[in-house]
Amino acid sequence: MEKLIQRRLHRRDFQKLALVLPAPLALAALMGRGAGIALAQTPDATTTPMLVPTPECGDADDLAATVAQTAGPFYTPDTPERRSLLEPGMPGTPLVVTGYVYSTECQPVAGALLDFWQADDAGVYDNEGYRLRGHQFAGEDGRFELETIVPGLYPGRTRHIHVIAQAPNQPVLTTQLYFPDEPANARDGIFNPALTLDVQDDANGEVAYFTFVLPITQ
């Protein structure tokens, strides 16, 4: 833990700490760095609600807007609002994608729309219904959480999840999220390393972290 606190934390590092550590430990980690985005710890039955102060964003990568990408051919509008895309008996490795939506001004975007869709474990998209499709809205602190499975390989592509992200009354961002160390990343012409999830193994499957950064116009 001492080495973790002493090393420099970038935006994704601290947000991951805020998601998995009690608030006092997350704050301690923050105090070990110069500047960056700090987040409110979401309270639960074992933690005391605590607002972590947000210092000035000092790093260029703290302000970089999330890269846009093509929606591909399989987008379906009017998806159901839900945080879990899991269904009974659905094959595949369970995956939780969690993180925050922030503005390029270093502020959480409350109520941001996030619309997810992906292939199933066999690499097949449901183009008739809403299997593995759904949207949700970020919380007051900008936090989101999606329960799904690790997508299979669609022919010609690397493993990925499609996302539409939109701050209230702002332009739509369409992008894709990728997985680290995938052999197909190198040969996928659309793959962008800036959109790679931070993935860790979990007792129940995998947990992935990502922060969407959206420009906000007046």
Q: Is the pLDDT of residue 118 over 70?
A: yes
Domain 94-214, what fold?
Protocatechuate 3,4-Dioxygenase, subunit A (2.60.130)
Exposed (0-12), middle (13-18) or buried (19+): which is 165, by Cβ within 10 Å? buried
**How many Cβ atoms from other residues are within 10 Å of residue 9's Cβ?**
22
Q: Residue 78 above 70 pLDDT? A: yes
Q: Give mean pLDDT, residues 110-133.
A: 98
Range(s) for CATH 2.60.130.10 in the chain? 94-214
Mean pLDDT of the residues in the chain:
80
Checking if the pLDDT of 218 tops 70, the result is: yes
Q: What angle do CA 215, 22, 47 make, to 5 degrees?
A: 105
H helix intervals, the chain: 2-6, 11-20, 23-31
Percent above pLDDT 90 for the chain: 69
Task: Provide, rounded to the nearest whole percent, the portion of the chain with pLDDT above 70.
Answer: 72
Confidence of residue 200 (pLDDT cuts 50, 70, 90): very high
